[in-house]
Amino acid sequence: MSAAKRPTPRPGVMQIQAYVPGKSAAPGVDRIFKLSSNETPLGASPKAIAAYKTVAEHLHDYPDGSATALREAIGRVYGLDPNRIVCGSGSDELLNLIADVYLGPDDEAIHTTHGFLVYPIATLGSGAKPVVVAEKNFTADVDAILAAVTPRTRIVFLANPNNPTGTYLPFDEVKRLHAGLRPDVLLVLDAAYAEYVKRNDYEAGIELVATSENVVMTRTFSKIYGLAALRLGWLYGPEHVVDALNRIRGPFNVTAPSIAAGIAAIEDRAHVQTSIEHNAKWLTWLTDEIGKLGLQVTPSVGNFILIHFPEAKGKTAKEADAFLTSRGLIMRGVGAYKLPHALRMTVGSEEANKLVVAALRDFLNGKAK
C-alpha cells in the first residue's frame, strides 16, 4: 500500500459537486421576496411556533431518541404504523442514510436527468455510481429507467412530484416501474411535495410501501409544514428497512424543538388546508399569466414552477434572473439541474406573485430595470 502524505477521502467523495442552495439575498435591494427554495409563503402554523418555544426551558435535556410522539402523530394523520416510520434531520439525512445502508463500491443508483441533486450526492458519498436516465417532456420515463437497470443497480431514486420540474408520475406508472424492478432493488419515492398535489391519479407511495418489501417513501416538514429551519423529515418503509436505518442513524438525530413543532404542525390541518388552497390558486394564476407573456411554463403539481426563457440575447434566463433580483425577486437558477435556460420560482404571497408577473412583463419589453 502506498503511504499517502495526508488522509484521503474515499473514492467518489471528491467527485461530488457540493449542493448550492437557492440565493437568499439581493444586494442593494431593501425588500426581498425569496422564491428560490420552495418555502411556504404562509409560514409555519402558529401552533408549531408556540410548541417550539415551550422547549426553550428544556434545552439541557436530550430529546427522545426514537421520536415516539412525533411518529405517533404522523401515524395518526396519515394512517400509518408508527413502527414503520423513521424521522430524520430533514429528508436529506434520510436519503443519505438510505444510500449509506444500501450502496457500496461497484453499486449503481439510478436517478433522472433533472432529478433532485441530493441523489447523486448521496450516491457518490457512498462510493457508488450514479446512473442518470433521460426524461421525456421534463418527466421521469419509466421505460428508460427500467432499461438502465443492471445487475449492479441497488436503488432507484424518484422524486414524485419532481423538483425542479414540478412534473409527476401517475400511480399507474409508479406501479409499473415497481413491477419492473428486481425485488432486491430499493425504490425510493421522495414525496416532498405530496401534500400540494391535486390529481386523482397521484399516490405518494403509501400503498406501494405497505404492499411490498422494496419501496420506501420519504416526506418532509420543510415544505407545506413550513419548518425548513428545523430540518425535519420522515420516511415510511418496510420493517426490515426501518430496522437497518435505525441501526446507523444518529441516536438523537431529531431535536426536541423539531419534535414539538412537528407534532403541532402536522396536527394543524386547518393551516395545511389554507396552504393547499393558496398554492392551488396561485399556481394556476402564475402558470396562466406567465404563459400569456409568451414564456413556456412546465405544468407543475408542486408549489413551484419552472419557467423557460429564450436563448436570444437580452431575454435569457440569466438576464431575467439579474433583472428580477434587482427588484428583490429571488428565483432559483437551475443550471446545476441541466436546465440552463430556465428559472424555478416558488409560489409566493399574492404580492410577490403579482410583482413577478409585472417584472417579467417589463423584462420582456426591454425595460432597463
Ligand X SMILES: *Cc1c(COP(=O)(O)O)cnc(C)c1O
**Sites of contact with ligand X (CB under 6 A):** 38, 90-92, 116, 159, 163, 190, 192, 220, 222-223, 228, 233
Other CB atoms within a 10 A radius of the CB of residue 190 amount to 30
Minimum distance between the CB of residue 149 and ligand X, rounded to whole angstroms? 22
Q: In the complex, what is the shortest distance from the CB of residue 231 to ligand X, in angstroms, rounded to a whole number?
A: 6
| Nearer of residues 265 and 355 to ligand X, judged by Cβ | 265
Report the residue number, 91 or 214, with the smaller CB distance to ligand X.
Answer: 91
Q: Distance between the two ends of the chain, CA-based, in angstroms?
A: 61
Residue closer to ligand X, measured from CB, 163 or 253: 163
Nearer to ligand X, 128 or 232 (CB): 232
CB of 305 to ligand X, least distance (A): 14
Q: How far apart are CB 294 and ligand X at their closest, in Å?
A: 28
Least distance (Å) from ligand X to the CB of residue 127? 22
Could you count the other beta carbons within 10 Å of the beta carbon of residue 361?
15
Q: What are phi and psi of 161, to 5 degrees?
A: -65, 160
Cell (9 digits) for 139 = 418527466
User: Is the Cβ of residue 164 or residue 360 nearer to ligand X in the bound state?
Assistant: 164
> In whole angstroms, how far apart are CA 76 and each of 72, 80, 184, 204, 267?
6, 7, 30, 17, 9
Closest residue to ligand X, based on beta-carbon distance: 90
Q: Give the helix ranges, DSSP H, for 83-238.
A: 90-102, 118-125, 142-148, 171-179, 206-210
- The residue among 40 and 353 lying less far from ligand X, judged by its C-beta, is 40
Neighbours of 277 (CB within 10 A): 11
In this structure, which amino acid lies at residue 168?
Y
Rounded Cα distance, 113 and 340, in Å: 13
Distance of closest approach, residue 148 Cβ to ligand X, in angstroms: 20
